[in-house]
């Protein structure tokens, strides 16, 4: 599932290409992806796209009449920016053509992504999952972060990936962040001290900022469409059995509910 660095890279790639472009054609081969109705998509014709923002794991495309096209690519949603005649990808779900001859295409192997077209920011809360969405983690300062986390008594990985506490961190980056902070993913919030929360905040910032730079560079070089997420730079996530880059111990992997958690038992002791 794409997380903040992936979505920021997609946003940085698309914004200079889309901003100021007028929609000329629309097509929804998988109409139910557009939850507010596929006929909505057609009403974008003749309108200009503006800025693109990100909120948690959603991308928000602003339209010149104030409307906002919102996309949550979920597990396998993938964007493509290609010339209109380019070969079509599998599971093509949505196509928006622009006046420069390019198409913004969206494919989704598992067809779990969600699109919404709303009248303006006042309708954001009508979008499922946004209603209870916490503040975007990148907008929090250290004190705000610590204040939110101090209330969380449960397992720390579950807390930092809970989109109602704050939005944007998922399974992959939570592993990287907890490893960087030296905190076991299953440590309970109740056992952590204020200095642990502060160290965790610094890890959130350093891991995400560094990764945004790395993924941005990759996407600027390769373009979109090959992947929906970029993971090569990760140090522990999906590296079970490999040596920890910090201490050399073997990285552990535990799978629960279909998602894997990776950590180093030496650098991230469960009890202190
Ligand atoms: Zn280690």
Q: Residue 249 — very low, low, confident or very high, per pLDDT cuts 50/70/90?
A: very high
What is the whole-number distance in angstroms between the Cα of residue 244 and the centre of ligand 1?
5
What is the whole-number distance in angstroms between the Cα of residue 237 and the centre of ligand 1?
13
By the 8 A CB rule, do 153 and 190 touch? yes
End-to-end CA, the chain: 32
What is the whole-number distance in angstroms between the Cα of residue 247 and the centre of ligand 1?
4
What is the whole-number distance in angstroms between the Cα of residue 245 and the centre of ligand 1?
7
- Output the CATH code of domain 4-126: 3.20.190.10
Name the percent of the chain lying above pLDDT 70: 100
What is the whole-number distance in angstroms between the Cα of residue 243 and the centre of ligand 1?
8
By the 8 A CB rule, do 223 and 82 touch? no
What is the whole-number distance in angstroms between the Cα of residue 215 and the centre of ligand 1?
24
By the 8 A CB rule, do 176 and 236 touch? yes
Angle between helices 142-150 and 194-222 (to 10 degrees): 120
With CA atoms as reference, report the closest residue to 152 among 199, 183, 197: 197
Rounded Cα distance between 152 and 228, Å, is: 31
Q: How is residue 239 written in tokens? A: 């590296």
Neighbours of 220 (CB within 10 A): 11
- Output the CATH code of domain 137-264: 1.10.8.50
User: CA torsion angle for 20, 23, 29, 32 (degrees, to 10)?
Assistant: 70
Q: Where are the domains of the chain?
A: 4-126, 137-264
What is the whole-number distance in angstroms between the Cα of residue 251 and the centre of ligand 1?
7
Q: Residue 272 — very low, low, confident or very high, per pLDDT cuts 50/70/90?
A: low
DSSP class of 86:
S
What is the whole-number distance in angstroms between the Cα of residue 88 and the centre of ligand 1?
44
- Tens-place pLDDT, residues 198-213: 999 999 999 999 999 9
């Amino acid at each position: 599932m794409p997380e903040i660095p992936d979505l920021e890279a997609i946003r940085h790639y698309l914004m200079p290409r889309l901003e100021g472009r007028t929609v000329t054609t629309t097509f929804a081969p998988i109409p139910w992806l557009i939850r507010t109705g596929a006929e909505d998509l057609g009403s974008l014709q003749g309108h200009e796209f503006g800025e693109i923002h990100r909120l948690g794991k959603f991308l928000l495309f602003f339209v010149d009449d104030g409307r906002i096209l919102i996309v949550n690519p979920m597990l396998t949603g993938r964007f493509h920016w290609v010339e209109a005649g380019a070969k079509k990808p599998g599971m093509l779900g949505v196509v928006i053509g622009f006046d420069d001859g390019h198409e913004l295409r969206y494919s989704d192997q598992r067809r779990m992504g969600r699109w919404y077209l709303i009248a303006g920011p006042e309708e954001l809360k009508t979008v499922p999952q946004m209603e209870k969405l916490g503040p975007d983690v990148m907008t929090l300062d250290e004190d705000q972060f610590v204040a939110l986390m101090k209330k969380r008594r449960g397992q720390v990985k579950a807390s930092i990936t809970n989109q109602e506490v704050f939005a944007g961190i998922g399974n992959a980056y939570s592993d990287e962040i907890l490893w960087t902070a030296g905190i076991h993913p299953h440590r309970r919030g109740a056992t952590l001290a204020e200095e642990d929360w502060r160290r965790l905040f610094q890890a959130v910032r350093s891991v995400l900022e560094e990764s945004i730079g790395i993924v941005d560079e990759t996407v600027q070089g390769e373009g979109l469409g090959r992947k929906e997420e970029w993971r090569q730079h990760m140090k522990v996530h999906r590296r079970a059995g490999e040596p920890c880059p910090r201490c050399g111990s073997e990285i552990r992997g535990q799978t629960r509910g279909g998602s894997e958690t990776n950590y180093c038992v030496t650098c991230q002791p469960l009890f202190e």
